[in-house]
Amino acid sequence: MKLLFLAASVVIAASVNAQPHVHRHRHLRRAAVKRDLLTETVYEPGPVATITVFLLNGQQISEDEVNQGIKNGTLVWGDDGNLSTSAAATPTPAPVPSSSKAEEQAPASDTSKAAVPSTAAPSTAAIQVKAQATSVQAAASSSSSQGPSQTSEPQPSQSSTPSSHSESIDGIDREFPSGQYNCDSIPDGFGAMPVGDAGLGGWIGIQAPQADTAAGYDDITTVPQGSCPGGRCCQPGSFCSYSCPNGYLKSSWPAKQGATGQSVGGLYCNSDGFLELADGAVAKTLCVKGTDKVTIKVQNNLSVNQSICRTDYPGTESETVPVTTQPGESVELACPDNSKYYQWQGKPTSAQYYVNNKGVPEKDACQWGDGSKPVGNWAAVNLGVGYDAKSQKAYLSLAPNAPTNPDAKLDFNIEFKADDMSNQCKYSNGQYLSGSNYDQPQKDGCTISLGLGTLTIILSDQ
């Protein structure tokens, strides 16, 4: 689920996740476009009384999204002909933004809540909606929300507590001993951060491939969020994803990925019920620091708390990695070095963040939304961050959350500040601005590169 944009040297891939939303990650430097930018479409065959639309969880999505979701296993056609999410499959990857629309996530023991592997379906099938019909229910949900409201976001809360990700973590550099910790909970003392809001016993995403083929994992089931807040979601045969402290990224994912381009990530729960670093892990520790070439920070100059949420990538690609700041607080953002971190089909990737309105509680900001409010995957702005080893520059971008919620606007301003920036980039009063005097409005967002030093992302009231 993704799509932002970065400099010309950055490329992105988009995917449909197990929700009616498209994330965006970017593959840096001349990587091929994984798929085109999706646009919402209503098909009108002519002046007749029938319009073909696709509805999922009460939300209209495009045929491209349907086709891609069926292809990668995140959507299925039910026996009743209704379209539903396969909480079973994972989304395809994607990285940081480019201002030219270039390219950049065993079922649970409670099988009643684990999704079933998706099955093939005609890619051209559609839900036929008569002009007189008032609604079409999606099989996966009884939700009838028709889109995000620009005025229904949560009210700012002065009492929201800061994310524990801001705390220093003991054991961050300690090697993880595979096969010694059971899968019931996230191992303590190695830097990994439990996230309770996902309702997965501290994990941020759990994927269980049902098929292991020469081309990769297939029929990948995903444990639905909220299935087991007390734990025991991570079952043998699953990849269980976890969060790391601010400035750090998880190190573990399998060398073999999804057969149709899905990303898979996390610790592996072996047949004996013990956790192992996956065979594609880039370190012996659970967490790795972002690039040491530059430092990216967020400075909260707002009057209330604010949450920026990173996607679980590789993995479920849900925006479940929280970075929450309090007024006056400054924290580091993880900036992956594309020569040392996850590569999607041989192409380098970067990190994508969702920027929520101020005052939105972390538990709402860093979870899947239903479209009724501009929060979570419906947040107004995407932030792309990555370091390109070839050009020896970091790239950062701000962009609308399109096509999911392109008209949403933040209730505060964002500005990049650094000594060695290639350009100016600012979000002010709903506009993306570049140019030396911020005199160049950019409809699709703005991107900068950074050679050395520290870049601060300043959040300020309008």
Name the nearest CA neighbour of 459 among 325, 337, 312, 292.
325
Q: Residue-wise pLDDT tens for the chain (462 aa)?
A: 433 333 333 333 333 333 333 344 443 332 333 333 333 333 333 333 334 455 554 555 666 666 555 544 455 555 444 444 443 333 333 334 443 333 343 323 333 333 323 323 333 222 222 222 222 233 333 333 334 444 344 444 333 334 445 444 789 999 999 999 999 999 999 999 999 998 999 999 999 999 999 999 999 999 998 888 777 899 999 999 999 999 999 999 999 999 999 999 999 999 999 999 999 999 999 999 999 999 999 999 999 999 999 999 999 999 999 999 999 999 999 999 999 999 999 999 999 999 999 999 999 999 988 899 999 999 999 999 999 999 999 999 999 999 999 999 999 999 999 998 999 999 999 999 999 999 999 999 999 999 999 999 999 998
Q: What pLDDT score does 77 carry?
A: 52
CATH of domain 294-460: 2.60.110
Residue 376 CA from chain centroid, whole number? 9
User: Which position has the token pair 């839900």?
Assistant: 127
Q: How far apart are the first and last CA of the chain?
A: 29
Residue 118 to residue 127: CA distance in whole angstroms = 18
Q: Given this model, what pLDDT does residue 369 score? A: 86
Written as six digits, the tokens of 219 are 């029929």
Eight-class DSSP state of 175: P
In b/e form, how buried is each residue of 267-288, taking b as 16+ CB within 10 angstroms?
A: bbbeeeebbbbbebbebebbbb
The confidence score (pLDDT) of residue 117 equals 31
Residues 171 and 395: beta-carbon distance below 8 Å: no
Q: Reduced to 3 states, what is the DSSP secondary structure of residue 198?
A: helix
One-letter amino acid of 2 = K
For residue 84, report the phi and psi dihedrals to the nearest 5 degrees.
-140, 160
- Cα–Cα distances (Å) from 80 to 71, 83, 244, in that order, read 20, 9, 42
The token pair at 192 is 């990994």
Q: In this predicted structure, what is the pLDDT of residue 119?
A: 29
Domain limits, the chain? 294-460
